[in-house]
Amino acid sequence: MSSNSPILDPKCPGGDIETRWDRHRFAMKQVNPANKRKFHIIVVGTGLAGGSAAASLAELGYRVTSLCIQDSPRRAHSIAAQGGINAAKNYPNDGDSVFRLFYDTIKGGDYRARESNVYRLAQVSNNIIDQATAQGVPFAREYGGHLANRSFGGAQVSRTFYARGATGQQLLLGAYAAMNRQIQAGRIDMRCRREMLELVVVDGVARGVIVRNLITGAYERYAGDAVLLCTGGYGNAFYLSTNAKNSNVTASWRAYKRGAFFANPCYTQIHPTCIPVSGDHQSKLTLMSESLRNDGRVWVPKAAEDKRPASQIPEEDRDYYLERRYPAFGNLVPRDVASRAAKERCDAGFGVGSSSMAVYLDFADAIDRDGEDAVRAKYGNLFHMYQKITDENPYESPMRIFPAVHYTMGGLWVDYNLESTIPGLFVLGEANFSDHGANRLGASALMQGLSDGYFVIPYTVCGHLAGRHLQPVTTQHEAFAEAESEARSQTEKLLAVGGSRSVDSFHRELGLTLWDDCGMARSEKGLKHAIGKIAELRAAFWNDVRVLGEEKDLNQSLEKAGRVADFLEFAEVLVKDALNRTESCGGHFRLESQTEEGEAKRDDENFSYAAAWEYQGTGQDAVLHKEPLAFEYVQLAQRSYK
């Protein structure tokens, strides 16, 4: 299959990487300022990427329609990002630079990201901080009044800007405010509680969307000259994740079924420090900031099935396995390494807590060393949150943590212009695949979302609008009718099944399958098992799901059912991508690809490419397209944290 799959061209400019973006922007066709109001752009999603794109495009004079699933654009899940946003400002004078941020991002992504995109990301990172500050985002400050930075996620420099533990919230509210200004000015038509169900493609170009009005249940058509998907990641395929409950893959998936390629779906980030599952009722997982590992020590009992409370396990019976395995980095190994090591211990029977699927994160030493007050000053809000959820006091007994799905690096394939394989369909933020490779660094998601929306798409959309001679299209076009009937028929089908099981029960089962067979460790056997299981589950879903209520009404079961139906299809591509990639990379440990010491082993010779999957119709295997990854500026090396 892979030997004769066609090669994909990312349309990156060549030459000196430092001037690529400049030269590319200069070479691109421009839209005359007076003509901008003639173009209509549809933006789906209002997170950091969608919000910043909608506002910036409207400021330029385009007519924008913005759609979001919640009752307000301010509620997109970017709001939940805690830690911070990276930028190469080098304010602390510790040696940061655009090149270093670029280098760290490529290396952190385990050499599976596109150099040109990542360099551009590092270049515009500084503008983001300026923009957000001007909007009134209350970043943390030093006593002299200048912006404060902190080190994050094991980075060697302090380049992370933050607003207490709510950086995502504050940045999103900044973009939201910029949108509000344009809504007030009449340049953004904001439509909330709308879920995108279909992409409308006319003459091979994306020209509109079909959405369901989540209050009335009516289908609505929106036509435009370009469509921007800013609909986030697909982490909820795993059911339990740190994603918001409404986050889903539907918009991306329907675009995929209309011809957009899906790239690297098997790249999911599993965050090491989350509060573990407490029971079957669990509906989502809560992240505890990565910064905790700066002072906490991770351990499990030395003896398997040791059920004594932590306080009764003496020092000599404890296994500080990260410090044991990675003496150089200890508890500060990157996310992927920490996650895998925790899973390894729990699988081997050393896990703690009632579920035995957790490890301890212990602050006793830090409290002894610095005092409880110092620890409280640094992590007070996190400890408080932990106590609220678990009813345990982390000042007295160690936290229990376990990895959880957190972010998805994979997404719709885009070229350097953020344009998918469907002309006129642009994909921004977590929904695309381009910048993080196989593993995203901490504090880089916010950077990428805002970079795409504020500083990339306003330029690259011009190339499409000015370069292609778009004919006027209205919602009366037959392509809209066809797409709408497609969306309608799926909804009707869901309501007609009339089975006995709830949507959530299928979703949970799918999640468990993916977590077990396609989570942190994967093997051919497990992945093949998952493929069979997913097909069974999909069949069972369409036979036995029970969706109550009506179509023309606010119907949350129906909304969920549509999303789970898509997850059940999408999961197969996710697993098949994982099966294809027989190397270990990022947090994805392929059992067949490990070093003698049991560490992850990349296979650059065979897998130095982005895998983009093309839909071939129901029941057909997707076709793999490869985008080879060339590394001209960063030397490939095996990561080691020993």
Partner 1 sequence: MSAEKTMKLNLKIWRQKNADSNGSIEDFQLDGVSTDMSFLEMLDVLNEQLISAGREPIAFDHDCREGVCGCCGAVVNGQVHGPDEETTLCQLHMRRFHDGDTIQIEPWRSRAFPVIKDLIVDRTAFERIQQAGGFVSVSTGSAPDANTISIPTRDAEKAFDFAECIGCGGCVAACPNGAAMLFTAAKVAQLVTLPQGKLERSSRVLTMVERMDAEGFGDCTNHYECSAACPKGVPIEAIAVMNREYLRATFLSPEGA
- Least CB distance to partner 1 at residue 589 (A): 28
Q: Is residue 129 a contact point for partner 1 (CB under 8 A)? A: yes
Contacts of partner 1 in 583-622 (CB under 8 A): none
Q: Does 554 bind partner 1 (CB under 8 A)?
A: yes
Q: Using CA atoms, how far apart are residues 541 and 593, in angstroms rounded to an integer? A: 35
Around Cβ 501, how many Cβ atoms within 10 Å? 15
Tokens 């093309």 sit on residue: 614
Residue 26 Cβ vs partner 1, minimum distance, rounded to whole Å: 16
Interacting residue with partner 1 among 28, 80, 466, 497 (CB under 8 A): 80
- Whether 630 and 115 have beta carbons less than 8 Å apart is answered as yes
Interface residue with partner 1 among 15, 33, 95, 279 (CB under 8 A) is 279
Size of the site for partner 1 (CB under 8 A): 84
At its nearest, how many Å lie between partner 1 and the CB of residue 200? 27
Q: 151 vs 557, which CB is nearer to partner 1?
A: 557
Token pair of 419 as six digits: 């344009």
Which range, of 145-153, 343-351, 519-527, 598-606, touches partner 1 by CB under 8 A?
Answer: 145-153
Grouping H, G, I as helix, E, B as strand and the rest as coil, residue 94 is coil
Does the footprint of partner 1 cover residue 178 (CB under 8 A)? Answer: yes
CB of 449 to partner 1, least distance (A): 14
Q: Does 59 bind partner 1 (CB under 8 A)?
A: yes
What is the residue type of 56? S
Give the relative orientation of helices 478-497 and 524-544 as an angle to the nearest 10 degrees. Answer: 90
The verdict on 55 binding partner 1 (CB under 8 A) reads yes
Site mask for partner 1 (CB under 8 A), range 483-502, x = bound: -----------------x-x
- Residue 205 near residue 423, CB atoms below 8 Å: yes
Could you say which residues in the range 558-587 bind partner 1, by CB under 8 A?
none
| Residue 417 host element (H or E) | none
Q: Is 335 a catalytic residue?
A: yes
SS (H, E, C) 185-220: CCCEEEECCEEEEEEEEECCEEEEEEEEECCCCCEE
The β-bridge partners of 242 are none
Q: Which CB atom, from 91 or from 102, has the smaller least distance to partner 1?
A: 91
**146 forms part of the interface with partner 1 (CB under 8 A):** yes
d(CA 305, CA 33): 69
Figure out which of the listed residues 44, 118, 157, 173 binds partner 1, where binding follows CB under 8 A: 173
Note whether 504 binds partner 1 by CB under 8 A.
yes
User: Is 75 or 639 the residue whose CB approaches partner 1 more closely?
Assistant: 75
3-state secondary structure 317-358: HEECHHHHHCCCCHHHCCHHHHHHHHHHHHHCCCCCCCCCCC
CB of 557 to partner 1, least distance (A): 6
Q: Which residue in 319, 325, 413 sits closest to 359, CA to CA?
A: 319
Is 136 a binder of partner 1 (CB under 8 A)?
A: yes
Name the amino acid, one letter, at 54: A
3-state secondary structure 118-156: HHHHHHHHHHHHHHHHHHCCCCCECCCCCECCECCCCCC
Q: Which of 15, 33, 145, 314 binds partner 1 (CB under 8 A)?
A: 145
Tell whether residue 70 is a contact of partner 1 (CB under 8 A).
yes
> Which one, 385 or 427, has the nearer CB to partner 1?
385
Binding mask 361-380 for partner 1 (x = CB under 8 A): --------------------
Residues constituting the chain: 642
Q: What are the respective helix, strand and coil percentages of the chain, to the nearest 5?
A: 40, 15, 40
Nearer to partner 1, 152 or 589 (CB): 152
Closer to partner 1 by Cβ: residue 548 or 637: 548
- Binding residues among 297-316 for partner 1 as defined by CB under 8 A: 309
Contacts (CB under 8 A) with partner 1, residues 408-467: 454-455, 458
Q: How far is CA 95 from CA 64, 105, 108, 156, in A?
A: 41, 16, 18, 9
* Helix intervals (H) in 454-555: 457-467, 478-497, 503-518, 524-544
Residue from 30, 135, 580, 594 in contact with partner 1 (CB under 8 A): 135
Catalytic residue among 112, 120, 325, 335: 335
- Which amino acid would we find at residue 44? V
Q: Which is nearer to partner 1, 310 or 473 (CB)?
A: 310
The reply on whether position 549 binds partner 1 by CB under 8 A is yes
Query: Which of 2, 19, 72, 474 touches partner 1 (CB under 8 A)?
Result: 72
Catalytic residues: 335
